Each structure stands twice: as C-alpha cells, then as structure tokens.
Amino acid sequence: MALLVFDSGIGGLGVVRQLRRLAPARELIYLADNGFFPYGEKPDEALLAHIVALIGQAIAALSPQAVVVACNTASTIALPALRATYHLPIIGCVPPVKPAAAASASKVIGVLATAATVRRPYLNGLIEAFAPGCEVLSLGTPALAELAERKFRGETVQVEDAVAPLFRQENGGRIDAIALGCTHYTFLQEEFSALRPDISWFDPALPVARRSLAVTQHLPATHHPQAGTAFFTGEALAPALLAPFGLTRAETCRW
Ligand code: DGL
C-alpha cells in the first residue's frame, strides 16, 4: 500500500522529500503530469476534467491508499470534484498564508503562485480566514514554475525579473513575509533567499507532508509492488535526478 503523490511536474518532489524525512518507511509512488504542464496556464474547465480523469486512471492502475495533490494549482480547482468522485483520502495543498501572516511584523505579506491559483476564490477565502489585519499582495506568474523545472535539470536560473512586479505594487516595499503558493517554488528557495534575505519565505511542502501523514497514519503499511516508481505523462526524468527522493524507477504512463 502506498501514497500517490501527484503534481504537474517536479514540484511535488519537495513534498516527497519531506515525507521521506518524516516517515522513511512510508511507501510512495510519484505521478508527474508533465505532458500537461504548466497547469497554471490551462483553462479551468479543461484542467478540472483532465485532473479528475487522470487521477481516476492512476487509482485504477495503482490502487493507492491515498492521493496527495502536491500542487496548489490542482488543489485550488480539483479537490472538491476529486473527493466527490473517488472514495479514498485525498489530501491537498494550501498556500502557506497563515504562517506568513503570523510571522509578518509589517503586516504586509506577499503570495507568489501561478496565475490560476492567484485568480481563484480559494485564495481569497484563505486570506480572509488566516490573514486578518494583513495587506496581502499577490503575483501570479508562469515564469517561476518553468524556472524551477529548468533549475531541477541543472540550469542556473535567476528569479529577480519574475518576482520584481510583486515589490513594485503599492506597499510592495513593506513586504516582510512571502507565502510560496506553488510547490515548484520549493526548488527556488535558495534563489529567493539570496535575492531578499530580509524576507521570510514560506515553503508549502512541509505542511502538506505533515497533513498527509496525519490523515493516513491509521492505514496499514503493506508492500506495494510499484513503491518507489515515478510515473510521467510526458518524458520521464533521468533516474539520477529522482534517486535523491528515494524514487528508483522512472516510467512513462501506459494507462
Ligand atoms: N506545482 C504547481 C503548483 O503547485 C504548478 C505548476 C504549473 O503551473 O503546472 O501550483
């Protein structure tokens, strides 16, 4: 029995890393829908139908114990439909607005995410619930997820141009905490901190990993034959890039 961790690309590997650290014995299967990347630029209806169908195929092929939607863009649109359609635990991602708001002294915080996540009502709900009294400036951009994919494959990248419009907004100069609302951004943490070491940058991976383990702790731990496999809907990543995440096989989906 294994948890299926799912994202549009490499972003969910940050969640896999945290799951490995917190629960080394928990079996994991990874699914990267890189054939449909980037999610943040797809029309809502097409993306929703695509995700519900893909997760259905993955559940039928792999029988996971639970699905971890390690993607904010997918979570903000598909969680209710996934939970209504499939009867197993489905854990989603939430942009870390709450810890960013709590850490902010200036009470001006930033949210960086894909354009889709920023425009959906889900984010407004989070801000109302968890950042009362804060001014929240957000920036949706396709550039950062793409940069994360390139860095993961070994390129040197700079984030300054992509992030600059956030600080140019009115009161942008007062931002002292930023919620990273896209799992891909885990892999750009060094660049963000180097750019603005004075700002606290909040990563989404750890809270999702913790929540996934809390929800699934009562489930039995029996061996799954596909544990440690990373499935790709597009071209598979080189095994050497996956090995640090305890993923020992890379396959293109045949389902
Ligand atoms: N990793 C995804 C997220 O957390 C998004 C990347 C994409 O646009 O596909 O939002």
Q: Is the CB of 186 under 6 A from ligand 1?
A: no
Q: pLDDT by residue (tens digit) across 193-202?
A: 999 999 999 9
Predicted pLDDT at 182 = 98
Predicted pLDDT at 8 = 98
Q: Is the CB of 232 under 6 A from ligand 1?
A: no
Quote the CA–CA distance of 8 and 77 in Å, as a whole number: 14
Location of each CATH 3.40.50.1860 domain in the chain: 3-93+206-252, 97-203
147 CA distance to ligand 1 middle (Å)? 12
Mean pLDDT, range 82-109, rounded to an integer: 97
Predicted pLDDT at 173 = 98
Asked whether 206 and 70 are in contact (CB, 8 A), the reply is no
**Is domain 97-203 given the CATH code 3.40.50.1860 in the classification?**
yes
Q: Whose CA is nearest to atom 2 of ligand 1?
A: 71
Quote the CA–CA distance of 30 and 36 in Å, as a whole number: 16
Predicted pLDDT at 220 = 84
Share of the chain above pLDDT 70, in %: 100
Q: pLDDT by residue (tens digit) across 179-192?
A: 999 999 999 999 99
Q: pLDDT by residue (tens digit) across 38-85?
A: 999 999 999 999 999 999 999 999 999 999 999 999 999 999 999 999
Q: Is the CB of 141 under 6 A from ligand 1?
A: no
Quote the CA–CA distance of 134 and 130 in Å, as a whole number: 9
User: What is the three-class DSSP state of 242?
Assistant: helix
- Cα separations in angstroms, 93 against 29, 53, 82, 113, 125: 17, 19, 13, 12, 14
Q: Catalytic amino acids?
A: 71, 182
CATH fold group of domain 3-93+206-252: Rossmann fold (3.40.50)
Asked whether 54 and 186 are in contact (CB, 8 A), the reply is no
Q: Is the CB of 145 under 6 A from ligand 1?
A: yes
Asked whether 1 and 217 are in contact (CB, 8 A), the reply is no
38 CA distance to ligand 1 middle (Å)? 7
191 CA distance to ligand 1 middle (Å)? 18
> Does pLDDT of 14 surpass 90?
yes
Predicted pLDDT at 222 = 82
Q: pLDDT by residue (tens digit) across 145-161?
A: 999 999 999 999 999 99
> Does pLDDT of 221 surpass 90?
no
Closest CA to 3 of 233, 187, 214, 183: 214
Predicted pLDDT at 255 = 81
DSSP-assigned states of every residue in 148-172: HHHHHTT-----HHHHHHHHHSTTG
Residue count of the chain, please give it: 255
